[in-house]
C-alpha cells in the first residue's frame, strides 16, 4: 500500500502533467469579490506613490534653514490641505499651513508639527523646534515608481493586495476561474437532510461537509443527487460528475459487495492511479483521472471523508487554481499525552491545540473513530501520527494541520 506522501505525489504529478497555464482559465471578477481568489495578472503602479512629496503631519511647511535657531517667527502665506494644495512657492521667512496627506508646497523642505508651534495671529506663527531637512515629508515615489511591478501573478489576493488593486484603479481583476467540483454521495442507506431516516437509514452529511470544504478551498461545488448502490444509477451520476474539473464520490469504495464505485469509474474510462492509502482514517481513498477530469473516491465514513479531502483533494484544487499554497502548512506542537503509532499506517486524527507556556500544546481529542463527527467537533486541528513502531511520548514534537 502506498503512503500518504506517495499518494499526494501521485495526485500532484498527474495533475501537473495535465495542467498548463491555460488549463484553469482566467476570469474577470469585481474587485469587491476578489479577496481570497488567485491573481492571474501582474499589477504595475499606474503612478508614483505617493504621487507628490506628501506631509505626514498636520503643521507648517517651511524651509529648515529658517528654523535653525528657535524660536523663529514665520509669515503664513497659505494653506495646503489634502485635495487642494498651495500653488505658490515659499520664500525665506514664509511658511504654509499643511495637513496630513497634503502636497508639500514648492520651496518648502521640511514640515514642523503643529504641536511644536504657537500661533500668533492669522498671518504669523512661532516655531518652537528646529527640524532637519525633509522632516515629516514622505518623498514622491518612495513606495512605488510608476511602471514598477507591485503584485505578481499567482498570489492569493490578500488585504494589502485588494487595497493596492483599488488604488491602482482595478475595478475588475483577472483571477483563476474556480475549478468546478461535482460531489456525489453514494449509498442505499442515505436520505436527504429534510427527511426522517427509517430504521436502516441515515442522513447524507458528506455532501454538506464536502461542499463546505470545496468552497473553502476555492472550488465551485456542484452537489449532485445521491447515487444508489446499483450500477446503472451510480454510472449515471458519475457520468454527470465527470463533466466537471474534479469529481468527488463518497462512499462505496471499501471491499463490500455493494461498493461499486471503482467498477463504475473503470467502466466510464477513468484511469485509476491508486485505491488504497496506508492511513487512518481514510484507507480506501481512490484517485484517478479521465482526460482533464480528476476523480476521487473517498471513504464514506464522515470523518474519513473530511480527512481524505484535506490530505488529497485540497492540494489538487489549489494546484488547479495556480495557488502558491498547494502543500498547505504543517505546524509543530508538543504532545501533551502519549500517542500510539501503527507500523502499518500513518494516522491523521482530530486533536485540540492551544498556545500555552510559549508553545503549541496538542492533545488528541476523545474520538470514537471514523464516523464520529461529534468527536471531530471538539478538535481544532489534525495531528499527523507517523507510520512506525512504538509510541510518541508526552513532550515529543508532532506535526499538525490547523483546521
Q: In the complex, which residues of this chain contact ligand AMP (CB under 6 A)? A: 185, 187, 189-190, 202, 204-207, 250-254, 256, 299-302
**Residue 62 in grid coordinates:** 517651511
By a kind-dependent CB cut-off of 5 to 8 A, residue 131 interacts, out of Mg ion, ligand AMP, none, with none
- Name the minimum Å distance from CB 259 to ligand AMP: 6
By a kind-dependent CB cut-off of 5 to 8 A, residue 302 interacts, out of ligand AMP, Mg ion, none, with ligand AMP
- Name the minimum Å distance from CB 238 to Mg ion: 14
Q: Would you say 73 and 20 are in contact if contact means Cβ atoms under 8 Å apart?
A: no
Which of 217, 254, 251 is closest to 234 using CA atoms? 251
41/225 with CB nearer ligand AMP: 225
**Residue 388 in grid coordinates:** 512506525
Q: Please give the biggest Cα pair distance in the chain.
A: 96
- Name the minimum Å distance from CB 385 to ligand AMP: 22
- Name the minimum Å distance from CB 202 to ligand AMP: 5
Q: What is the DSSP-derived secondary structure letter of residue 72?
A: E
85 vs 267: CA distance, rounded Å: 74
Radius of gyration of the chain (CA): 31
Exposure b/e, 384-402, CB count within 10 A at least 16 = b: bbebeeeebeeeeebbbbe
257/357 with CB nearer ligand AMP: 257
By a kind-dependent CB cut-off of 5 to 8 A, residue 254 interacts, out of Mg ion, ligand AMP, none, with ligand AMP
By a kind-dependent CB cut-off of 5 to 8 A, residue 301 interacts, out of Mg ion, ligand AMP, none, with ligand AMP
76/226 with CB nearer Mg ion: 226
**Residue 65 in grid coordinates:** 534653514
Q: Would you say 208 and 214 are in contact if contact means Cβ atoms under 8 Å apart?
A: no
By a kind-dependent CB cut-off of 5 to 8 A, residue 202 interacts, out of Mg ion, ligand AMP, none, with ligand AMP
Q: Would you say 113 and 67 are in contact if contact means Cβ atoms under 8 Å apart?
A: no
By a kind-dependent CB cut-off of 5 to 8 A, residue 375 interacts, out of Mg ion, ligand AMP, none, with none
Cell 473530511 belongs to residue: 306
183/362 with CB nearer ligand AMP: 183
270 vs 264: CA distance, rounded Å: 9
Q: Answer whether the bond into residue 50 is a cis peptide, omega within 30°.
A: yes
- Name the minimum Å distance from CB 268 to ligand AMP: 19
- Name the minimum Å distance from CB 340 to ligand AMP: 24
- Name the minimum Å distance from CB 364 to ligand AMP: 22
359 vs 354: CA distance, rounded Å: 8
Q: Which residues contact 46 (CB under 8 A, 6 or more apart)?
A: 146, 168, 169
Residue 60: Cβ within 10 Å count: 28
Q: Which residues contact 111 (CB under 8 A, 6 or more apart)?
A: 55, 56, 57, 59, 60, 61, 62, 98, 104, 131, 135, 136, 137
By a kind-dependent CB cut-off of 5 to 8 A, residue 288 interacts, out of ligand AMP, Mg ion, none, with none
108/227 with CB nearer Mg ion: 227
- Name the minimum Å distance from CB 286 to ligand AMP: 11
222/361 with CB nearer ligand AMP: 222
211/378 with CB nearer ligand AMP: 211
Question: 81 forms bridges with which residues in the sheet?
Answer: 84
- Name the minimum Å distance from CB 226 to ligand AMP: 7
Report the interface residues with Mg ion, using CB under 5 A: 187, 251-252, 300
By a kind-dependent CB cut-off of 5 to 8 A, residue 299 interacts, out of Mg ion, ligand AMP, none, with ligand AMP
34/204 with CB nearer ligand AMP: 204
55/285 with CB nearer ligand AMP: 285
Residue whose C-beta lies closest to ligand AMP: 300
Amino acid at each position: 500500500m502506498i503512503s500518504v506522501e506517495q499518494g499526494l505525489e501521485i495526485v500532484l504529478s498527474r495533475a501537473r502533467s495535465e495542467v498548463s497555464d491555460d488549463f484553469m482559465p482566467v476570469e474577470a471578477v469585481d474587485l469587491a469579490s476578489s479577496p481570497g481568489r488567485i491573481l492571474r495578472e501582474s499589477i504595475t503602479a499606474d503612478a508614483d506613490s505617493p504621487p507628490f512629496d506628501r506631509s505626514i503631519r498636520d503643521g507648517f511647511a517651511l524651509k529648515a534653514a529658517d528654523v535653525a535657531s528657535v524660536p523663529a517667527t514665520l509669515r503664513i502665506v497659505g494653506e495646503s490641505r489634502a485635495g487642494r494644495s498651495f500653488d505658490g512657492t515659499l520664500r525665506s521667512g514664509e511658511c504654509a499651513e499643511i495637513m496630513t496627506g497634503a502636497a508639500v508646497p514648492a520651496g518648502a523642505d521640511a514640515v514642523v508639527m503643529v504641536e511644536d508651534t504657537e500661533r500668533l495671529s492669522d498671518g504669523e506663527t512661532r516655531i518652537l523646534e528646529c527640524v532637519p531637512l525633509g522632516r515629516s515629508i514622505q518623498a514622491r515615489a518612495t513606495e512605488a515608481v510608476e511602471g514598477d511591478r507591485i503584485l505578481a501573478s499567482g498570489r492569493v489576493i490578500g488585504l494589502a493586495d485588494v487595497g493596492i488593486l483599488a488604488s491602482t484603479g482595478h475595478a475588475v481583476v483577472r483571477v483563476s476561474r474556480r475549478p468546478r467540483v461535482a460531489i456525489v454521495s453514494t449509498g442505499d442507506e442515505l436520505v436527504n437532510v429534510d427527511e426522517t431516516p427509517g430504521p436502516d437509514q441515515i442522513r447524507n452529511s458528506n455532501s454538506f461537509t464536502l461542499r463546505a470544504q470545496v468552497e473553502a478551498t476555492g472550488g465551485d461545488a456542484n452537489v449532485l443527487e445521491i447515487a444508489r448502490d446499483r450500477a446503472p444509477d451510480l454510472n449515471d451520476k458519475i457520468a454527470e460528475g465527470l463533466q466537471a474539473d474534479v469529481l468527488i464520490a463518497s462512499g462505496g469504495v471499501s471491499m463490500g459487495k455493494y461498493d461499486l464505485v471503482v467498477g463504475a469509474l473503470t467502466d466510464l474510462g477513468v484511469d485509476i492511479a491508486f485505491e488504497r492509502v496506508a492511513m487512518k482514517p481514510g484507507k480506501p481513498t481512490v484517485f484517478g483521472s479521465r482526460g482533464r477530469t480528476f476523480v476521487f473516491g473517498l471513504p464514506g465514513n464522515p470523518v474519513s471523508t473530511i480527512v481524505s479531502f484535506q490530505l488529497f483533494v485540497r492540494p489538487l484544487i489549489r494546484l488547479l487554481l495556480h495557488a502558491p499554497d498547494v502543500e498547505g502548512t504543517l505546524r509543530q506542537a508538543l504532545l501533551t499525552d502519549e500517542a500510539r503509532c501503527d507500523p502499518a499506517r500513518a494516522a491523521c486524527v482530530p486533536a485540540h491545540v492551544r498556545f500555552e507556556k510559549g508553545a503549541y500544546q496538542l492533545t488528541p481529542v476523545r474520538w470514537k473513530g471514523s464516523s464520529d463527527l461529534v468527536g471531530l467537533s471538539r478538535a481544532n486541528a489534525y495531528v499527523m501520527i507517523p507510520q512506525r513502531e512504538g509510541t510518541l511520548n508526552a513532550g515529543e514534537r508532532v506535526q499538525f494541520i490547523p483546521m
